Amino acid sequence: MPETVKLVYQGKTYELPVVEGTMGERAIDIGALRSSTGLITFDPGYVSTGSCKSRITFLDGERGVLYYRGIPIEQLAEKSNFIETAFLLIYGRLPEKAEMDYFNYHVIHHSMVHESIKKFYDGFPNNSHPMAVCSSVIGSLATFYQDQLSVRDEREIEIAIHRLMAKLPTIAAYSYKKSIGQPFPYPDNTMGYTSNFLKMMFSTPCEPYHVEPIAAKALDILLILHADHEQNCSTSTVRLVGSTMCNLYASISAGIYALWGPLHGGANQSVIEMLQTIYDDGGNVQKYMDKAKDPNDSFRLMGFGHRVYKNFDPRSKIIKKLADEVLLELGVREPLLELALELEEIALKDSYFLEKKLYPNVDFYSGIIYKALNIPVNMFPVMFAMGRLPGWIAQWKEFQEDPEFKLGRPRQIYIGDTRRNYVPMEKRKNQTPERD
Ligand code: SDX
């Protein structure tokens, strides 16, 4: 007999079923709440609200645990690669050799964009934020493949998956090349995913370009660590857009815009900008800690805190260690890393941060590595989007295949004016609203 909870309301008792996940999470199924009680729930920011059942990612915020399809993130970062992890997220299992070769082949052989797409970049201002460029150009893919936008045809969805995985690095690199007025290089299908991206970002037609192996490896690990994170804001956006049966290109374009915000994927850019501000202000960390704790100051410690993790974000632990390796191997001395380490040390001894369980999140150290790879700061959220792409795809696909698939349409509690009549213009001066 499934567990239930009792709700007593206006003298009546209602029993609501409890659903339990495979890792012991429990939820009250309120699907019948409004029809049986007339009540809805109210939960700004969906702090205590689950939107779906999913098999893709499990995270335990209290224990700082993150699994992709049951595999701990630590093992994938150490033993897998980004394209294999993308396959795992999207198709639910680690690929066999033939499956891996097939997926890899198609991700590589869709890396070019239609030549007409390059003309879009002529219209963007040179100082356009690359997240706006990437979301616009990704969305425009729906105009190039108009006869392949099905959300139910397995083969059309597979081709869209290959195209998105293959073309986002190209589209991203072109947004950077546009901003510095350099020519757009073609992808090089003889190279790996991250090496090809770095070459498109930094090569010029004037000379050969060598990709540092540590740079390609570090970027591959970063993409793995960013690949999915259950129902975060941008993933929920992708699911919501997909719930209208809208195509995958448009759903991913919406996800890129949602990720851009500084409270979400844009935080990696804000962290570096914050560290640079503190550094330029003489490195006075305590001053900015005090600002972060001051309820009257809007300043927040970017890269700290998380809606779910109330312990260390397991990803930030791996990234912090990787940052040390990358800087050492590239022979880069990064004063902002020292500042970040000092800031973390002070914060983790501070009662405000400890009481509110604010720990470094995925965005706190990632920018240090991107900076060491000479990736411009405004491209940091784009790197997050490249990593999160397979997660968005996996979540969108899972939802399209979900037997409980339903158009997403939240309710609200109305607190506006009660019924009142229209007031002709001549009577509006200093009027108080007429009310019935
Ligand atoms: C990502 O959801 C995901 O999974 C996201 C992500 C993913 O992989 O998809 O993990 C990626 O987005 C990571 C988060 C990146 N954002 C930042 O680093 C921005 C800085 N962090 C905060 O803005 C904040 O911590 C959030 C937005 C991340 C989470 O905020 P919540 O869950 O809405 O919590 P809250 O804002 O209500 O904060 C709780 C309290 C508040 O104090 P009180 O009002 O209770 O007094 O903690 C305080 C906040 O003021 N607080 C901070 C703080 N974060 C929260 N105070 C100072 N500095 C901070 N960074």
Residue of 225, 197, 219 lying closest to 325 (CA atoms): 219
Q: Can 306 be counted among the known catalytic residues?
A: yes
Question: pLDDT tens for residues 308-337?
Answer: 999 889 999 999 999 999 999 999 999 998
Which position has the token pair 């049986």?
Answer: 36
Each residue's pLDDT tens digit, 15-61: 999 999 999 999 999 999 999 999 999 999 999 999 999 999 999 99
Give the closest residue (by CA) to ligand 1 atom 25: 305
Closest CA to 111 of 228, 195, 176, 218: 195
**Can you tell me the distance from the alpha carbon of 351 to that of 385, in angstroms, rounded to the nearest whole number?**
34
pLDDT tens-digit series, residues 254-295: 999 999 999 999 999 999 999 999 999 999 999 999 999 999
d(CA 370, CA 218): 9
Mean pLDDT of 378-406: 97
Q: Whose alpha carbon is nearest atom 13 of ligand 1? A: 264
Q: Is residue 220 within 8 Å of 82, Cβ to Cβ?
A: yes
Query: Which of 358, 366, 384, 386 has most ligand 1 atoms within 8 Å of its beta carbon, as the pocket-test mutant?
Result: 358
* DSSP summary character for residue 157: H
- Known catalytic residue at 264: no
User: 226, 236, 307, 315: which to mutate for ligand 1, most atoms within 8 A of CB?
Assistant: 307
Catalytic member of 109, 363, 417, 436: 363
Say if residue 434's pLDDT is above 90. Answer: no
pLDDT at 435: 60
Torsion sign (Cα): 60, 222, 367, 342: positive
For ligand 1, residues with CB inside 6 Å are 45, 229, 232, 263-265, 267, 292, 300-308, 356, 358, 361-363
Q: How far apart are CA 111 and CA 199, in angstroms?
A: 13
H helix or E strand, kind and range, residue 72: strand 71-72
What atom of ligand 1 comes closest to residue 233's alpha carbon?
A: 2
* Beta strands across the sheet bearing 71-72: 57-60, 65-68, 71-72
Which atom of ligand 1 approaches the CA of 304 most closely? Answer: 60
60 CA from centroid of ligand 1 (Å) = 17
The single residue of 129, 226, 229, 306 carrying the catalytic annotation is 306
Specify the ligand 1 atom closest to the Cα of 300: 58
Other CB atoms within 10 Å distance of the CB of residue 236: 18
Q: Report the candidate in 244, 238, 233 with the shortest Cα–Cα distance to residue 408.
A: 244
pLDDT of residue 431: 61
Q: What are phi and psi of 119, to 5 degrees?
A: -65, -25
